[in-house]
Structure 1
Amino acid sequence: MTPDHPPGLDLDRLRALLDRERPGLVDGPLSGRLIEGGRSNLTYAVTDGGSRWVVRRPPLGHVLATAHDMRREHRVIDALYPTSVPVPRPVLLCEDDEVLGAPFYVMEFVEGTPYRTADQLGPLGPERTRGAVLSLVDTLVELHAVDPAAVGLADFGRPEGFLDRQLRRWGKQLDASRSRDLAGIDELHAALGRSLPSSPAPTVVHGDYRLDNVLIGEDDTIRAILDWEMSTLGDPLTDLGLLVMYSVPLEVPESPVSTTASAPGHPTPAELIERYAARSGRDVSAVSWYTAFAWFKLAVILEGIHYRYTLGQTVGRGFDRIGELVPVFIHHGTTTLQEG
């Protein structure tokens, strides 16, 4: 494959489909490139030299359909597009494997920057950094204000027993990745189970809401929320807890897992919680539980990456140090829960 024809993207078949389903949309030969940074599904930027689009499809090779559900991603974007929640304009969903070898969807390309590290935020300066992160909270409030039934998402998830299922799911994930003794992680899991909070009314939950999953425009506003593969109907405070967790400086030198929390001007976790509470009107008194759960979940994810690294199944820089971070996340989760 050439750079203009990356693996998993047959541009001739894509062009034929778009010409048939959206006549007049494409004006010229298509070229495409893989957008780096995705953690699971593949994302491509495609252009005809004038207009630009984005194609999302599952990874190459055998995948679990439930883990890479293109219909589900497209459905939530399509439902939210008419609302005030910033998402790309959906173009089409294709569930015919004959086109690209797997289901996929096309959406409009949105200009913007995903900020992944404190260093990347540095050039914005403290004031603009603060504004961008606070707008992240405001946009989360907008998402959680959407009435799922009003946008056709009443059956998008099973909110009853949501937190209990989440906790059990991540406990199973931990068991599947056990290769060493991890002090305190079982105790943290058990303590979370003993102090399960009562969930507020369910909302559309993003599931992985943080600064590098949104595009920030030149005016420092959020142009689009991306990566909806973990979205569902559930407890909105799980999104807040994850956002708060990513706003705590890790204080680990040259950490392979980066947060933006140390960027000058970045709001504190307390400021983010206060802003969310004031703008949403929700009771956030149990936010420590949700933040501790986020630390636990990330510890499990990192342990899974470490486990695959020990088996020689991951390649790239930084994977050799992922294992060192897991105890740090366990410690943060335990202290957060105790202090709450």
Structure 2
Amino acid sequence: MTEASRQETFSGTKEVAEALRFDTSRLEEYLAKHIPDFQGPLTVEQFKGGQSNPTYKLTTPGRAYVLRRKPPGKLLASAHAVDREYRAMAALYPQGYPVPKPYLYCEDESVTGTAFFVMGFGDGRILWEADMPTLSGPVERAQVFDAMNATLAQLHTYDPEKIGLGTFGRPENYVARQTDRWTKQYRLSETEKIDDMERLIEWLPKHLPPEPKAGVVHGDYRIDNMILDPEKPKVIAVLDWELSTIGDPLADFTYHMMQWSMPRGDGGPGSGSLLGLDLAKLGIPTKDEYIEAYSDRTGLDPRPYFDVYTAYNFFRLAGILQGIMGRVRDGTATSAHAAARGKMVRPLAAAGWDYAKRAGAK
């Protein structure tokens, strides 16, 4: 898949894939009992995007909703945490943070076959390419980047205790625990030996950055996980809270900054890269400018340990994508483009080791 085709490939909906279908009438009956003013008939389509947890558009004569559920089949422990997604949005929505309205969470697997939640449908724009070629020009592009920066900074200023997320995760040793988690997940999904992953697994636990005060972290904050206002450069909804927890906000921010150094490849959504582009001509801030804006808003500065954080984030993303390759191996992948994303594991590991060497690794 080329960069130019990503927007078209992943935008909109399609007929629900055979392996991901469920009894629509059973769901309609359940929603009519649990969502005020819900009235059918109900039509169900599958979003083309949504790599980890299958995501569906629910349309009724009066309103549209979105359903997100665990995929069927054999799953890694703690993966596909739709319950965490719902809990994060349910805490953030009353604060005025841009998330979809959470309607309900259902553990009853008899309804759709797996646990799911229902949220409001955000009618806006999802951009799938880091350089945002569909925007009007450099001024709008700069405004969207600033809106992304401000929205993540806003998240990192919340006190988890004060918004009901005090028990959402362990605040200490976030990067250490994430490194351990994704090492284990990588081993469970491993399909080939990758030397750079082995080097990172050995090096990272011994070179962790000091921790700032813990906050709410999104875990996968990137352009295609948010909805923009149809006309304004404004974020109206941040999506995909599966990896959210309490942890290191600088780890979260530097993950978001990977797009400036992301290897180019055939990886589907999330693999968009700004590498090698004329940022000034496009209206896109440099890394230093983007960091400065975030630091001004939060008082946090990743620059002293930026290379370590970036090595960690490339390792973590490689582990996440290796999990997708594991699902391809096991026959439980939910996206037709899963195998293409999995091919990014090796270049991501190489990029991670390059940053580790910048941080002093031998």
TM-score by length of 1: 0.86
For residues 134 and 175 of structure 1, do their structure 2 counterparts lie closer, same or farther at Cα, with a shift above 3 Å needed? same
Indicate whether 1:18 and 2:36 are aligned.
Answer: no
Structure 1, 309-318 or 265-274: larger mean CA deviation:
309-318
Once residues 153 and 273 of structure 1 are traced to their aligned partners in structure 2, the CA distance between those partners, rounded to angstroms, is 27
For residues 191 and 63 of structure 1, do their structure 2 counterparts lie closer, same or farther at Cα, with a shift above 3 Å needed? closer
For residues 65 and 73 of structure 1, do their structure 2 counterparts lie closer, same or farther at Cα, with a shift above 3 Å needed? farther
SS in 2 for 1:233: strand
In structure 2, what residue type is equivalent to 1:325?
Answer: P
Q: CA deviation at 1:32?
A: 1.4
8 Å CA contact 2:322–2:342 kept in 1: the answer is: no
Q: Which runs of 5+ in 1 are unaligned?
A: none
Once residues 116 and 192 of structure 2 are traced to their aligned partners in structure 1, the CA distance between those partners, rounded to angstroms, is 38
For residues 196 and 228 of structure 1, do their structure 2 counterparts lie closer, same or farther at Cα, with a shift above 3 Å needed? same
Higher relative contact order (CA 8 A, sep 6+): 2
Q: CA deviation at 1:312?
A: 8.9
Once residues 156 and 57 of structure 2 are traced to their aligned partners in structure 1, the CA distance between those partners, rounded to angstroms, is 29
Other-structure match for 1:219:
232
Other-structure match for 1:265:
283
Structure 1 counterpart of 2:154, from 124, 142, 149: 142
Once residues 31 and 113 of structure 1 are traced to their aligned partners in structure 2, the CA distance between those partners, rounded to angstroms, is 22
8 Å CA contact 1:174–1:304 kept in 2: the answer is: yes
Once residues 305 and 96 of structure 1 are traced to their aligned partners in structure 2, the CA distance between those partners, rounded to angstroms, is 26
Other-structure match for 1:159:
171
Structure 1 counterpart of 2:207, from 195, 199, 204: 195
What is the 5 A alignment of 1:37-56? 37-56=49-68
When the two chains are superposed, the root-mean-square deviation of aligned CA atoms in Å is 3.0
Once residues 61 and 169 of structure 2 are traced to their aligned partners in structure 1, the CA distance between those partners, rounded to angstroms, is 39
Other-structure match for 2:247:
234
8 Å CA contact 2:76–2:185 kept in 1: the answer is: no
For residues 38 and 91 of structure 1, do their structure 2 counterparts lie closer, same or farther at Cα, with a shift above 3 Å needed? same
8 Å CA contact 1:112–1:215 kept in 2: the answer is: yes
Structure 1, 183-192 or 310-319: larger mean CA deviation:
310-319
8 Å CA contact 2:250–2:301 kept in 1: the answer is: no
Structure 1 counterpart of 2:351, from 312, 322, 329: 329
Other-structure match for 1:109:
121
In structure 2, what residue type is equivalent to 1:66?
Answer: S
Indicate whether 1:208 and 2:208 are aligned.
Answer: no
Q: CA deviation digits over 1:244-264, x for unaligned, max 9?
A: 1122253x4x54353242472
Once residues 83 and 329 of structure 2 are traced to their aligned partners in structure 1, the CA distance between those partners, rounded to angstroms, is 34
Indicate whether 1:95 and 2:114 are aligned.
Answer: no
What is the aligned residue count? Answer: 335
Indicate whether 1:280 and 2:302 are aligned.
Answer: no
SS in 2 for 1:159: coil
For residues 325 and 302 of structure 1, do their structure 2 counterparts lie closer, same or farther at Cα, with a shift above 3 Å needed? farther
Other-structure match for 2:9:
none
8 Å CA contact 2:16–2:46 kept in 1: the answer is: no
Q: Which runs of 5+ in 2 are unaligned?
A: 1-13
